[in-house]
């Protein structure tokens, strides 16, 4: 296997061996510092082929969107019970532990009757497709490490992102587009952890997320310079490829092979990307459904539509990031701004995939790195009507739709204040294990040897959440 893996890609090996995605019984991974070796199996029947990860960086408030708390409403502006404050190491919350009821109205949606906030009418309208997890928890309330954990399974920088792990383990079904694509909506806010949340970490760099821009040239430097023909570019790449092969034969450096693949992918993308981003062939009804007719909804809606087009063309993992959700003050106003930007696009993506017969094989995951406190924050002073919420890791919500997921259901619960996840608790590692399970991957066996240790997305943790599965 080691000799074969140096001369053809994993995808080519599987094709030559007569395997398709739906019938893969055995697959091999590259490990050991980039040298070939390994022993991993796809022992689970895959339900999903692709993933669309809707990453709401900054942490949306579960209490104002997904998790109604009547007791919190009854005790609005009262001091938080002592059992919530016991052992709490948060001076901001302790400074004024006053309960803050959500001003939002929650109503049951769909046949399932799951309650959603009035700020998410479009997402609520597809409630019967959604598995809502109300018992998420994590172990940090600082943005950078929490975003790393949610995206990469580890709070430290330098670890591969979820998309990189999936791309590494399964490869891409598209020859002309990357296996892992990242798009950010034009929200005016950056992601605290930056591009680290789509990094390939210690995996070969060919598995890194490729960013597509929403304005201007979609992929920087993908077009040929003026005066350089496609034939000239092909000849140039052939010469570079031969020099890289000679260099690899002498050094065995795996990054050389990654560079070869990157050059070849860029060449193929020159033809594929313009067709991908050309939305002229989409119907007016489709463009309207995604919100492309309005400035407020257009950036995220366009990315959602492009995500569907990428999935149709075989891209394995698409990550859409929206980064406005850190609402320390003026929550009632700012939360609506962000919900209005993403709500319509998210629901349109679900409807569009379903009507095209793609939802059963596409897994959509929506969530941020943690939740928000049931107490109002006083960091910027207390003004009634302009309250905010602080960071909160002990209980929050996320949701999933599509391939392998049980629709129209709620998993877990927080306590009466939305403070602690208390029933069917789901850690971020458990969510990752479940995502991989839906793709047919045993999270304990998708490993890569680095610095003398077999690493994995779920580290040494994680269990599949059976109640999420169809």
CA nearest neighbour of 151 among 186, 117, 114, 192: 192
Rounded to whole angstroms, how far apart are CA atoms 222 and 218?
9
Query: What is the DSSP track for 146-198?
Result: HHHHHHHSSSSTTS--HHHHHHHHH--S-SSS-SEEEEE---S---TTGGGGG
Q: Give φ, ψ of 450 to 5 degrees.
A: -145, 130
Cβ contact 418:63 at 8 Å = yes
CA nearest neighbour of 320 among 151, 452, 178: 151
Which residues share a beta bridge with 114?
A: 109
Q: What is the three-state SS of 289-354?
A: HCCCCCCCCHHHHHHHHHHHHHHHCCCCEEEEEECCCCCCCCHHHHHHHHHHHHHHHHHHHHHHHH
Which residues share a beta bridge with 183?
A: 212, 320
Q: State which fold the 46-217+284-440 domain adopts.
A: Alkaline Phosphatase, subunit A (3.40.720)
**CB neighbour burial string for 214-228, b if at least 16 within 10 angstroms, e if fewer:** beeebbeebeeeeee
Cβ contact 182:163 at 8 Å = yes
pLDDT of residue 454: 95
At 195-246, the pLDDT tens digits run 999 999 999 988 999 998 766 666 666 666 666 677 766 777 677 777 878 7
pLDDT of residue 348: 98
Rounded to whole angstroms, how far apart are CA atoms 60 and 152?
19
Mode of pairing for the β-strands spanning 409-411 and 413-414: unpaired
Q: Which two tokens stand for residue 388?
A: 């905010």
Q: How far is the CA of 99 from the CAs of 58, 84, 151, 373, in angstroms?
A: 22, 11, 31, 9
pLDDT of residue 221: 62
pLDDT of residue 273: 83
DSSP 142: S
Q: Which two tokens stand for residue 60?
A: 């949306």
pLDDT of residue 43: 64
Q: How far is the CA of 239 from the CAs of 224, 245, 246, in angstroms?
A: 17, 10, 11
Which residue matches tokens 């087009």? 309
pLDDT of residue 270: 72
Q: Which two tokens stand for residue 173?
A: 């079904």
Rounded to whole angstroms, how far apart are CA atoms 253 and 216?
35
CA angle 145, 148, 154 (to 5 degrees): 90
Rounded to whole angstroms, how far apart are CA atoms 185 and 190?
10
DSSP 424: S
What pTM did the predictor assign? 0.85
Q: Which two tokens stand for residue 250?
A: 């002498």
Which ranges of 356-402 does DSSP label H, i.e. alpha helix? Answer: none
pLDDT of residue 220: 62
Rounded to whole angstroms, how far apart are CA atoms 434 and 469?
8
CA nearest neighbour of 403 among 353, 344, 366, 444: 353
Rounded to whole angstroms, how far apart are CA atoms 368 and 59?
5
CA angle 433, 434, 440 (to 5 degrees): 90
Rounded to whole angstroms, how far apart are CA atoms 300 and 337?
13
pLDDT of residue 400: 98
Rounded to whole angstroms, how far apart are CA atoms 46 and 31?
23
Contacts for 407 with CB less than 8 Å, ≥ 6 apart: 112, 128, 129, 130, 131, 401, 470
Contacts for 419 with CB less than 8 Å, ≥ 6 apart: 84, 373, 374, 392, 394, 395
Query: What is the DSSP track for 353-365?
Result: HHHTT-GGGEEEE
Q: Which two tokens stand for residue 413?
A: 């619960």
List per-residue pLDDT tens for the chain, 470 residues long. Answer: 333 333 344 444 444 444 343 333 333 333 333 333 333 446 689 999 999 999 999 999 999 999 999 999 999 999 999 888 776 666 666 677 889 999 999 999 999 999 999 999 999 999 999 999 999 999 999 999 999 999 999 999 999 999 999 999 998 888 889 999 999 986 557 799 999 999 999 999 889 999 987 666 666 666 666 666 777 667 776 777 778 787 778 787 777 777 767 666 665 767 678 889 899 999 999 999 999 999 999 999 999 999 999 999 999 999 999 998 999 999 999 999 999 999 999 999 999 999 999 999 999 999 999 999 999 887 656 677 788 999 999 999 999 999 999 999 999 999 999 999 999 999 999 999 999 999 999 999 999 999 999 999 999 999 999 999 99
At 406-421, the pLDDT tens digits run 999 999 999 999 999 9
């Amino acid at each position: 296997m080691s000799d074969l893996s140096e001369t053809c890609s994993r995808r080519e090996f599987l094709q030559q061996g007569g395997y398709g995605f739906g019938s893969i019984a055995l697959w091999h991974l590259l490990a050991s510092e980039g040298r070939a070796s390994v022993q991993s199996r796809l022992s689970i029947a895959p339900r999903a082929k692709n993933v669309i990860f809707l990453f709401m960086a900054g942490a949306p408030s579960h209490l104002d969107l997904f998790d109604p708390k009547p007791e919190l409403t009854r005790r609005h502006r009262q001091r938080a019970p002592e059992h919530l404050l016991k052992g709490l190491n948060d001076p901001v919350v302790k400074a004024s532990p006053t309960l803050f009821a959500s001003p939002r109205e929650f109503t049951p949606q769909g046949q399932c009757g799951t309650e959603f906030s009035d700020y998410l009418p479009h997402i609520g309208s597809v409630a019967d497709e959604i598995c809502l997890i109300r018992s998420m928890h994590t172990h940090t309330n600082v943005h950078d490490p929490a975003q790393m954990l949610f995206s990469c399974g580890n709070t430290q920088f330098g670890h591969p992102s979820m998309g990189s792990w999936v791309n590494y383990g399964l490869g891409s079904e598209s020859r002309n587009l990357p296996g892992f694509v990242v798009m950010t909506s034009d929200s005016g806010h950056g992601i605290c952890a930056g591009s680290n949340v789509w990094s390939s970490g210690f995996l070969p760099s060919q598995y890194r997320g490729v960013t597509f821009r929403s304005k201007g040239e979609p992929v920087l430097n993908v077009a040929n310079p003026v005066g350089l023909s496609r034939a000239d570019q092909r000849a140039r790449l052939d010469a570079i490829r031969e020099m890289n092969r000679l260099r690899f034969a002498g050094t065995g450096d795996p990054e050389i092979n990654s560079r070869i693949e990157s050059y070849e992918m860029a060449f193929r993308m020159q033809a594929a990307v313009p067709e991908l981003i050309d939305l002229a062939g989409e119907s007016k009804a489709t463009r309207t459904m995604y919100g492309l007719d309005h400035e407020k909804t257009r950036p995220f809606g366009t990315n959602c539509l492009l995500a569907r087009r990428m999935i149709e063309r075989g891209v394995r993992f698409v990550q859409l990031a929206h980064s406005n959700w850190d609402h320390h003050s003026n929550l009632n106003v700012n939360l609506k701004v962000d919900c209005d930007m993403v709500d319509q696009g998210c629901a349109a993506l679900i409807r569009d995939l379903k009507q095209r017969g793609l939802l059963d094989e596409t897994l959509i995951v929506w969530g941020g790195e943690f939740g928000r406190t049931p107490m109002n924050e006083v960091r910027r002073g207390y003004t009634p009507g302009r309250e905010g919420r602080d960071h909160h890791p002990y209980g929050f919500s996320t949701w999933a739709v599509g391939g392998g997921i049980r629709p129209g259901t709620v998993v877990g619960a927080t306590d009466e204040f939305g403070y602690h996840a208390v029933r069917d608790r789901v850690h971020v590692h458990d969510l990752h294990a479940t995502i991989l399970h839906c793709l047919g991957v045993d999270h304990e066996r998708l490993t890569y040897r680095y610095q003398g240790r077999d690493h994995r997305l779920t580290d040494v943790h994680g269990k599949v959440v059976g109640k999420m599965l169809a």
